[in-house]
Structure 1
Amino acid sequence: MIAKIIVDNKSKQVDKPFDYLVPKELEDKIKIGSRVLVPFSSGNREIEGFCVGTADTSDSKRLKSIIRTANDSIGFDEDMLELIEWMHKKYLASYLDIIHTIVPSGTALKTKEWIILENKSEEKSEIRRRITEILTDNGGSMEFKELKEMCGVDIQNQVRAMIKEGTLKKEYRQSVDIKDKKIKCVKLICDRETALESAENLRRKAPVQAKMLEVLSENEYVSLADLQKFTNGSHSTVKALEKKNLVNVFDMTVERDPYWNRVFEKTEKMVPTPEQEYAIDEITNSVKSGDGGIYLLHGVTGSGKTEVFMQTIENVINMGKSAIMLVPEISLTPQMVSRFMSRFGGRVAIFHSGLSAGERYDQWKKIRDGEADIVIGARSAIFTPLKNIGVIIMDEEHSDTYKSDMSPRYHARETAIFRASQFGAAVVLASATPSVESYYKAQTGEYKLLEMNTRYNKNKMPEISVIDMRSELEKGNKSMLSGKLYNEIEENLKRGEQTILFLNRRGFSTFVSCRSCGYVPHCPNCNISLTYHKFEDKLKCHYCGYERPNYKLCPKCGSNYIRYFGGGTQKVEDELNRLFPNATTVRMDMDTTGKKQSHEKILQKFEKDKIDILIGTQMVAKGLDFENVTLVGVITADTMLNINDYRSCERTFAMLEQVSGRAGRGSKEGRAVIQTYTPEHEAVSLVKSHNYRTFYDKEIAKRKLMWYPPFCKIVSVHFQGNVENIVAKTAKYFLNTAEKTQNISQKIQILGPVPSYISKIKNKYRWQIIFKCEDDDNLGEILSQAEMTCRKNKEFSDVAIIIDKSPGMIN
């Protein structure tokens, strides 16, 4: 039997299955997705591999054999292999990157090379004596890497010679980072009457042992730690009971539940509105018939889309099928989890990067073992090993966060549609502001359009005021808050109602500048100015993490005229504390949500402590539902409009409509104040009337005229390296190679090669080429071949080439 194995080696040259002989004793254990240990390369280093197929014969000669299975319970099945092959072709990602995205992080076997001292001998060489001494001092064995570091020189040849002579021995040892969590437990191995009788006999001489027996007689088992705590006993006391053949100590696997300390009150489904009922019935019937289909649920903010999700999922699981619910931000997960847990209880599994590796591992196992049939999470939840999927729902489907910017560079929407096709499942793409591409597909019949145009509570949509900040400056108002927004906040504070303020920029100031000479401090690693963070009094780069203390004097001219320009969430918070000293505030951005569960804690604090004002970046713009929030303020609507990207208008409209929709979701009417320097821009003006359709009509006309998606596909190719002229040369060579291919039989437009919008990040120079084409899948093979040609050229060996289909941004 031959197994086709993807080996754990990131080199592009080995991105293919290798044939290995399967030993007789392993033939029943090797199947699709099995994790195995195999010898690889000329040195036969033992590394992990994944089985992607089997065969009876092989064209290869001198096949090596699989050593053993490895962590075999954590792999993938044939459905996932089909997905892996599709992603490999679709996104031009390596098999290994895709597999590592699908299997739980921390479960990979880490192989380390150990050197063992077998026989001591008189060594003439000083370095060989040093090797022997270090090994002796460390118990006779060490990891080779540590041994080499302690020797301080390259010892490869010496170690190889000493192994050949029999002085040393080499072996490979494997370990994993994440395992099942186990705790020591104690249980009786005698009947209850015998335990109580023994307790009575032990009461005088060994009262603690007697107490332990009494506790155990009332319980099936007790954790060792609790038993010792309850009885003031010790491990030796338990050992004594073990010797008397009264108790047994055993390991129990326990789940790391991220919500173990939460109580969710049971809720019942609501009576749906006619619009909700129609949507629920349409989707449910498609699942029942097995036809699946792709639905675009376009519902205004507050129209009750979440209730549609939950009632649809309830219908699906009543059919014996399962469901995936995707949300775009980790910050949205706590509220969604709370609602689903309250409705469905323990049949829900949670999966996102905010969990610890151990928690994600346990949730993955819960899904694989069929203990959960509803999965809620961010984009990576689409890869969970759920079976018999009936529906996949993407809330806020327009969000950029559904696109991965690391290999594999997949889009969750496309991946969800592929996974649904494997099971005949329905896909529901939901948003108050659908992406232009999705709405176009709904208009042309590729998706089925479901619309919900009224709020569930029949409340009016928030009344929106657009404030021209240019006129505020003319009035002498230099504050971050317009007079209108100030008055509205003051009114909310008087009424005891809550406010959300949105600014899509963290930090205190956008940049620092010397007013004397014009000097602006830049990151030494990236071609971008540093952002001032007042709380720490530091300048930080939001791309590479570089930071330094703030300047008190200009390093260029020595002037003390250091001034701060622009403003971030910290500055807004500072201004509010000055203008409304009695108001309570909380801030939600990347600086305040770095710790585990910080999103949930901030939102809970805002709701339960009735904090007056929540200040935040895009984390507060989508999906949040607080009954007492009646005012939303947008500090500046222009930040995204000025990004050099064809989607900037769409992103701005969506963000403004979404954040405005956080107001008035309860019984009280809502209002929003949008501050801008370009009130005439359609992305701003059309939000005032919540007019998505008019915005779409204008935007789709521009896209057609300029030949942008959905009328074409876009592929970006990025080049990154340490030497700028080599990076530029690689980009030009790549394009020249691709253009020589005779297989380009479609309309195509090429932009570049040119330096990227941010031309240096983390000391890497960046160039790019943009390909606009009719079919990016047909172009993929040409680009992949051009990449391989560049990699064969030694001059370009240090330049990273990144091919990205449908990139989040093309600047």
Structure 2
Amino acid sequence: MSDLYAEVILPLPLHDAFTYQVPGHLESDIAEGKRVVVQFGQKKLYSALVTALSSKKPENIDVKKIYEVLDEQPVVLSKNIKLWRWIAKYYCCTLGDVFKAALPGGLKLESKSKVFAVDDGTEAELTEKEQLLLQQIGSENSTVDELQKKLRNDFSYPVLKSLFKKNCIQIEEKINARYKPKTETFVKLHPEIENKKILNNKLNDLQRAKKQQALLLHFCEKINAFKKDVLLSVSKKELLDGTGFTPAILKELVKKKLVIQFQKQVSRIEEETENSQVSINLLNKHQEKALTEIQASFEKKQVTLIHGITASGKTEIYIHLIDEILKSGKQALYLVPEIALTTQIVRRLKNVFGKKVGIYHSKLSSQERVEIWDKVLQFQTKPENGYQVILGARSAIFMPFSKLGLVIVDEEHENSFKQFDPAPRYNARDMAVILGLQNNAKVLLGSATPSFETYYNAVNGKYGLVNLKKRHTNVELPETLVADVKKAYKRRQMHSVLSPELYELMQGAAEKNEQSILFQNRRGYSPFVECFTCGWIPKCKNCDVSLTYHKYKKRLTCHYCGYSQQMPDSCDNCGSNEIKTRGFGTEKIEDELKPLFPNASLARMDLDTARSKTALEKIIQNLESRKTDILIGTQMVTKGLDFEHVSVVGILNADNLLNFPDFRAHERAFQLILQVSGRAGRKNNRGKVVIQTSQPEHPLLNLIISQDYTSVFKAQMEERKLFRYPPFFRLIKIVVKHKNQQTVDRAAIQLKQFLEKNNKLILLGPEYPLVSRIQLWYQKEIWIKFDKSLHLDNTKDFIIDCVSKTKHLPDNSNCVINIDVDPM
């Protein structure tokens, strides 16, 4: 009987770690950070993660045994687990939630996971057990449960894992989101051709088929047949491209049993052929000064903010800092708000650092994420094989770095760094700071419009602060004009959705062969449709929102749950056929601009046109190569894009941004307008920006025109101090959800009553948010404000206790209550 016990965490929303006994035959294999197979509950098996080992048996508990150890090497480092524990505690979620969010899907196994075979044609050497398991999986999908029942004692998790590593199987985590491996056709010699003599005979047999003979010779040269450094196969594309040989000739060689064609799974991760192709650009004197100041700041502070105006060349400074870290043998993490929009940064980093760069984000397949995860781990033992730089979206914060030296958070003000659902509801920018502290790595936050919380920390000395106030090419910041659309509509001067000022500038840009960008933060054709007879507006059946009209689909769609219906011919309320569209989205703007600019090439950048990464890259490439003259887009166009020939930017409806009911509305309006303005005149001439509004006298607009960040910051700080908002007070949002409205009302009031027992908490609500029902779930919010002097952990423990008491009251067991710390 073994005296070794393992504390494990499961990928389930459970606060506790669980203790299992380690059987004697597994003692030498088990280690912290490895995955093990355990039974949890009556029947279900999970891959759990070992967080600690002990010889002390838990008292008064019947301890189950670990089934198997899945890994030869740990997949998670102890410093990762330390960060996970911090996240669970700070963001009031379970360690299981963090485990589920952190680990790539391919590393999480449970008995309901589906397994299916992949014929990649590599004829990998398989053991007897592997062959047996692969035969059992066969062509039909099986769950791990089903395989266990069929194979009984012959079933083994390590064998399953080994087949996964050899690309013989795929593990599908979600039944409704099956991963399709990327395959390519490869060609290899027929197994009957065992030596050079047989090959020569076969070549002689092809004397009358000269093309087939030539192709076979070309193929043998490609694979270096029967030589020491032999390649077993070559891709069909590589074999035929640019040769004049056709697939039909290859087909004849297959028929004659000279070669075999097979499908092979290929990695979607593009590898560079060389370590470095392009030298690092020299910095101008302003960038040099900023770099020196950052280095000096890092001597004293762990975290530094670089406040650099748009087009000041912050990316080049980042590259110089990464280069320094790489030379010291350490790793760097470069976080960006949305990976799909960073084609230009990806290209630049890969050009400079080549194979050292890996890209990690949630749109990669399960297999790819596991591959990248492994390569980051490999850096600890085999630096030449591992990734030294990771460029990623917020999920990259969980990567298993062993020698982290630098974390860069670009566009640190962006909302995309915040995870909204499911738990953990973390902010990757704040996590980057903790990650830096735990790894003794330097953290650089960068933005032209820093979040007010970050800037407050910088001006108060918590972070270092470096300013970069000159554009890279010394081009002036764009000239900003405010267009009064209220007045223009009255005088009938509008050109569809364009004010006369914006229309004239766009006409001028078109004449000079320059480009324009229009920003409208609504996709679709129009935000809603309305009956002009009775005022009826079609609403979503699952959510309390009006349906958005998409003309290209001729459907009304809900942007919250995806519900859609045909555009009605008549009013459901009064029968009138006077159904008209109201307002305008990006699709309508594109439609309206075609007759105004008949010779211009128009494109849209929104969720409808850029659903795939390749579609988005094409939109960006077309603008870069000047195939697109006018780009219409949502917030996507504001995020760090760099286009040389854009001279005009139009914000079509600033009122939506200025009047949004949120204490951060002015901060976000300033950031968004300034960021989109920064796309104009980045390289050659000064750009022009037109802000269309019906409130030209709004005080924020003058500060936007003068790009006076400091004045906006000071004004907002006074308001926030007066009304007790961050950064002076802490903020926690609690959302109560249930499909029955009365249950939500009752549970929210009960929760507030528990919270009121702590008179140091300021409570707002419970109130319904702007959208009170989403996907049939009613929701109410309670916002909690409390002074920073209050003990944070004790306050959170009190809040968690109140939530627990509420859920245990009669009829509340089915209530969902989410805690969001530092909500955005």
1:52 equivalent to 2:62? Answer no
Partner SS state of residue 217, structure 1? coil
Task: Work out the CA distance in 2 between the residues paired with 1:621 and 1:101.
Answer: 28
Superposed CA RMSD in Å reads 3.5
* In the alignment, structure 1 residue 535 sits paired with structure 2 residue 562: no
CA distance in 1, matches of 2:140, 2:553: 49
Report the Cα offset of residue 239 of structure 1.
10
- Paired residues of 2:731 and 2:823 also in contact (CA < 8 A): yes
Alignment correspondent of 2:773: 760
| SS of corresponding position for 2:455 | helix
Matched, 1:455 2:471: yes
Is the deviation greater in 589-598 or in 276-285? 276-285
1:455–1:666 Cα change, 3 Å? same
TM-score (norm 2): 0.84
* 1:794–1:615 CA distance, 2 compared to 1 (3 A): same
Do residues 657 (structure 1) and 674 (structure 2) align? Answer: yes
The residue type equivalent to 1:5 in the other structure is: V
Q: Is residue 2:800 matched to residue 1:801?
A: no
1:170-319 maps to which residues of 2 (within 5 A)? 181=167, 195-200=195-200, 203=203, 215=223, 216-217=225-226, 220-223=230-233, 226=236, 233-234=253-254, 237=257, 255-258=267-270, 266-284=277-295, 293-319=302-328
The aligned residue for residue 18 of structure 1 is 18
Q: Alignment partner for residue 336 of structure 2, among 327, 332, 354?
A: 327
| 1:164-210 per-position Cα deviation (integer Å, ceiling 9, x unaligned) | xxx998998876897564799999999x9x94345335555799999
Report the Cα offset of residue 325 of structure 1.
Answer: 0.9
Matched residue type, 1:98 = V
Match of 2:172 in 1: none
Partner secondary structure for residue 758 of structure 1: coil
Identify the residue that residue 90 of structure 2 maps to in structure 1: 90
Query: Counterpart of 2:526?
Result: 509
| Letter matched to residue 349 of structure 1 | G
Structure 2 runs not aligned, ≥5 long: 115-137, 169-182, 241-246, 380-385
Which residue number corresponds to residue 804 of structure 2?
Answer: 788
Structure 1 alignment gaps of length 5 or more: 115-137, 148-162, 241-248
- Establish whether residue 395 from structure 1 lines up as the match of residue 394 from structure 2: no
- Once the two structures are TM-superposed, the CA of residue 275 in structure 1 deviates from its matched residue by 3.1
The farther-off stretch of 214-223 and 364-373 is: 214-223
After superposition, give the CA deviation of every residue in 1:31-87 in whole Å (9 maximum; x if it has no partner): 22211111222x243222111111111224331110001356573110101001101
Q: Deviations over 1:293-330 (max 9, x none)?
A: 11111011111111111111111111111111111123
Shift in Å, 1:684: 2.2
CA distance 1:560–1:2, change in 2 (3 Å): same
How far is 1:88 from its partner? 1.0
Q: 1:594 to 1:27 in 2, by over 3 A?
A: same
Name the stretch that deviates more: 49-58 or 604-613: 604-613
Secondary structure at the aligned position of 2:704 is classed as coil
Q: Which amino acid aligns with 1:594?
A: R
Distance 1:537 1:239 in 2: 51
Tell me if 1:343 matches 2:352.
yes
Within 1, Cα distance between the matches of 2:113 and 2:367?
A: 26
CA gap of 1:235–1:62, structure 2 versus 1, over 3 A, is farther
The structural deviation recorded for 1:729 is: 1.3
Question: 1:104 deviation in Å?
Answer: 1.1
The equivalences for 1:417-496 within 5 A come to 417-478=433-494, 479-496=496-513
TM-score normalised over the length of structure 1: 0.85
C-alpha deviation, 1:712, in angstroms? 0.5
Using the TM superposition, name which of 585-594 and 350-359 deviates more: 350-359
Q: Secondary structure at the match of 1:272?
A: coil
C-alpha contact 2:306 2:446 (8 A) present in aligned 1: yes
> Cα distance, 1:682 vs. partner?
2.8
Q: Which moved more, 1:608-617 or 1:263-272?
A: 263-272
Q: 1:388 to 1:489 in 2, by over 3 A?
A: same
1:186·1:221 contact (CA, 8 Å) conserved in 2?
no
Specify the code of the residue in structure 2 equivalent to 1:16: D
Equivalent residue in structure 2 for 1:6, among 9, 14, 22 = 9
2:718 is matched with 701
Q: How does 1:134-145 map to 2 (within 5 A)?
A: none
Q: C-alpha separation between the residues in 1 aligned to 2:262 and 2:478?
A: 60
Give, as a single letter, the amino acid of the residue that structure 1 aligns with 2:614: Q
Letter in 1 for 2:786: C
SS in structure 2 at match of 1:5? strand
1:85 aligned partner, one-letter code: R
Q: Secondary structure at the match of 2:768?
A: strand
**Higher mean C-alpha displacement, 648-657 vs 788-797:** 788-797
Q: Deviations over 1:599-629 (max 9, x none)?
A: 2121012212431011100000121101111
5 Å-filtered alignment, 1:518-667, equals: 518-667=535-684
Distance in 2 (alpha carbons) for counterparts of 1:760 and 1:458: 50
TM-superposed deviation, 1:592: 0.9
Q: CA deviation at 1:701?
A: 1.1
Per the alignment, in what secondary structure is the counterpart of residue 572 of structure 1?
Answer: helix
8 A Cα contact 2:623 2:643, kept in partner = no
Greater Cα offset, 512-521 or 206-215: 206-215
Paired residue secondary structure (2:778): strand
Q: CA deviation at 1:654?
A: 0.5
What code does the residue aligned with 2:6 have? A
Report the AA paired with residue 432 of structure 2: A
Offset at 1:5? 1.3
Q: Match of 2:425?
A: 409
1:361 Cα deviation after fit: 2.8
Q: Are the equivalent residues in 2 in contact too, given 1:464–1:673 (CA < 8 A)?
A: yes
Q: Which residue of 2 aligns with 1:37?
A: 37
The count of aligned residue pairs is: 746
Asked if the contact 2:419–2:425 (Cα under 8 Å) also holds between the matched residues in 1, the reply is: yes
Partner deviation per Cα, 1:506-528 (whole Å, 9 max, x = no partner): 11111111111011111111111
Q: Which residue number in structure 1 is paired with residue 367 of structure 2?
A: 358
**Counterpart-to-counterpart distance in 2, 1:265 and 1:30:** 40
Aligned to 1:383: 398
Letter in 1 for 2:663: Y
1: CA distance, partners of 2:481 / 2:275: 38
**CA separation of 1:142 and 1:425: change in aligned 2, threshold 3 A:** closer
